[in-house]
Every structure is written in structure tokens, then in C-alpha cells.
Chain A
Amino acid sequence: MRSSEPPETAGDSAARPLLALPEGPLSMARLVALEPAALRQLLTLGLRAGLGEPELDACCAAAAPPLGQTPEQLRARLQERGWLRWDPERQRWRTRLGAARPPAPP
């Protein structure tokens, strides 16, 4: 599913339109404008020290419902866009700016 398509699950979104995850590389200007707040928080934490697996799981769980996605789907979308990448040196998930394509898997 692409972000521009209707979501697969409606959840509690009957009263509120679901948010869309934009396409294209991540910039700071784009990050500031992102909704929901939990997604901004995920990507901001990723810019700072990075995220361990439990933190990433928790952040995806908080950010996914307003986007009409499961946490697993959101995580996959962020990786597909190259916004989130595993840093083998720090052993953390880190937010990458300006990345249009995901790197080769480790």
C-alpha cells in the first residue's frame, strides 16, 4: 500500500481523516511539518542518539494508528523511504536526512 492510497484498516478513524506519510526524501522542513506528533518524535529521537529496538517498537506503535497503518507497516515504509536506517556502528536505528533510497541490507 502506498501512502496516497486509502488505508486498509479504518480503526477509530471514522470521525477523523487519516494522515498520510509523504513520499520523497526527508528534510528538516518536512520533518517539522509531519503529523502525527508521535512520528515527529520517532524521527527526532532517531536524529539524536538513535533508537534501540524496544524504543522503535514503542514509537511505531504510537505513530502508526493515525496513519492507518500497523506498526510493522509504518516501520517498513520508513525504511523503504530511506528515512530510517540501521547504524551498525552504533547499533541503533537512526533517522537519515536526504535519503531517497534505502541502503543495501546489512
Chain B
Amino acid sequence: MTRILSVHSFRGGTGKSNLSANLAAAFAARGLRVGVFDTDLASPGIHVLFGFTAGPESHTLNDHLQGSIPIEKCSHDVTPSALGGGKGRIYLVPAAMDGDRIARLLREGYEVERLNDALFSLGQSQHLDLLIVDTHPGINEETLLSTAISDCLVMVMRPDQQDYLGTAVAIEVAQRLMVPEARLVVNKLPPHFDAEQVRARVAQSYGIPVGAILPLSDDLLTIASRSLALVDVPSHPWSAGVTQLAADLADALL
């Protein structure tokens, strides 16, 4: 049965999509079949990290949620060539990128129920081991749903006070929805912060396991928005942290 992993943050700019995409690559490198849903429909972006560009015939999640296109036709194999030799695959369900489609979705909305059915349907039809849901930040109907159906919630936060407070709210909601597993990831930790102190502080504050403390890095800023760090610079501490997190999650979920 496909396991669902939601990557969520209370506020934007935490590096959630970047983490989702690189986690997918780490799982695929372990030989797993991974689906990635971009449910950040108001501000999609994860496709860029996989180098995916929607052509005129390419379907997106919007075509399923607001139309009649089967979800299977909205998924695209984006497995990086560096991982292509193994058994692992990555199937991306991107969100529509053009302004008209985004505006239509925001104007008309969609049945959240269709998103739920789509996740389970794709997992089954593509024989996926894992499905990663890259969510919209904050709390709304879609993010509550993806939290509720998750086998594991990965909460991403930066080490700043607003993130500390908002993350507490999101974790409380996840606990009410009885999510079986949860991990906290502190991303973009400035070099002058003591990683172990931060780890101890967040572990004590939230009472859920800390999955990773990932550094803020100037090197990554040059590649982070256009490709996968795990593929381009696998030995970088950030990539190594994500690889370790993927190993931990695979052990917990599979």
C-alpha cells in the first residue's frame, strides 16, 4: 500500500518544495517508486526543480480537479537521468503554471474530495511506494486533508520566532487528526547557530522527533531554485542531511 508523506509548513519560504523534491530523489535513489503532488495550487513551483516544463498536451493536477482528465494522465516521469539506471522512479503531478488557470482555480475552487481520491488512485495505479504531497503553506481545507490522510507529516520551519509559533499551531492540528508519524525539519539554519542547541530546543518545545537540521548555504542558493541539490551536489551537508532524513523516513514507513 502506498504511504503518504505530507511536507508542510505554517509559513511560506521555508524551503518546503525544495525539501519535497530532494526527498523524492533520495527515495528514488533507494529504488523506490515515488509520486510527488504539487498541491500548492496558488503558487506552484516544484516542477522547476525537476526540470519539467508543461507542453500544450501536458496535463496538470488542475485538469483533474477542475476537469475530467484521469489523474494518471496528469502524472509525468521526471526521474533524473542520474538515477535512471536504478529501479526508482519519480512521477510528478504538477500544478498548472499559467496565470489564467491559477486564477480560475482560486475563483471557482474544487471539490477537496477529488484530491483525496486522486492521491489514492495514483498510488494504486502506478504501484507507488510513497507519495509526497507538497502542500500550500498555512492551514486550509486542502492542507488539513493532506495532513489527515498522511502516514507521516514532515513540518518544515526556519529558526525564527514566527515559524516557532506557527509550527506549534500546525502540530496541534496534526495531533488532533492523529497523524501516525511526524518529523520536524529545521531548514536554512544560519552558520552561526549551534545545530545541536536548536535540535534540543525544538525537540523539547514540540515533543515530536527532529528529522533533520539543514544548513543555510550560499552554495545551495545558486542551484536550489533550478535543480536538485541531491543530484548536483550529493556530498553537500544539506544533501547529506536530506539523504539521512529519507533513510529515517523509509525505516519508519516502509
Within 8 A of B (CB), among A21-52: 27-29, 31-32, 37, 40-41, 44, 47-49
Q: Which residue of A lies closest to B179 (CB)?
A: A44
A47 & B144 in contact (Cβ 8 Å cutoff): no
Residues of A contacting B145 in the complex (Cβ-Cβ under 8 angstroms): 28, 47, 97
Q: Which residue of A lies closest to B112 (CB)?
A: A97
Asked if B116 is at the interface of the complex by the 8 Å CB criterion, the answer is: yes
Q: Contact flags (1/0) for B101-138 with A, using CB distance below 8 Å?
A: 00000000001110010001000000000000000000
CA distance A44 to B150 in the complex (A): 10
Asked if B177 is at the interface of the complex by the 8 Å CB criterion, the answer is: yes
Instruction: Show 26 A/B contacts (Cβ-Cβ < 8 Å), sorted by A.
Output: A27-B112, A27-B141, A28-B112, A28-B141, A31-B148, A32-B173, A32-B177, A37-B176, A37-B178, A40-B176, A40-B177, A44-B148, A44-B178, A47-B116, A47-B148, A47-B149, A48-B148, A49-B1, A97-B111, A97-B112, A97-B116, A97-B145, A98-B111, A98-B112, A98-B113, A99-B113
CA distance A32 to B173 in the complex (A): 7
CA distance A97 to B173 in the complex (A): 18
Asked if A96 is at the interface of the complex by the 8 Å CB criterion, the answer is: yes
Shortest Cβ distance from A78 into chain B, in angstroms? 16
- Of the four ranges (under 10, 10 to 19, 20 to 34, 35 or more), the interface on chain A belongs to 10 to 19
Within 8 A of B (CB), among A53-97: 96-97
Tell me if A's interface is mostly helix, strand, loop or mixed: helix
B178 & A40 in contact (Cβ 8 Å cutoff): yes
B144 & A32 in contact (Cβ 8 Å cutoff): yes
Shortest Cβ distance from A97 into chain B, in angstroms? 5
CA distance A47 to B1 in the complex (A): 15
A32 & B113 in contact (Cβ 8 Å cutoff): no
Residues of A contacting B1 in the complex (Cβ-Cβ under 8 angstroms): 49
CA distance A97 to B117 in the complex (A): 11
Q: Which residue of A lies closest to B180 (CB)?
A: A48
CA distance A99 to B177 in the complex (A): 20
Given contacts A40-B178, A44-B178, contact A28 B111 (CB under 8 A): no
CA distance A20 to B65 in the complex (A): 33
Residues of A contacting B111 in the complex (Cβ-Cβ under 8 angstroms): 97-98
Residue from A29, A37, A98, A99 in contact with B144 in the complex, judged by beta carbons closer than 8 Å: A29
CA distance A49 to B177 in the complex (A): 15
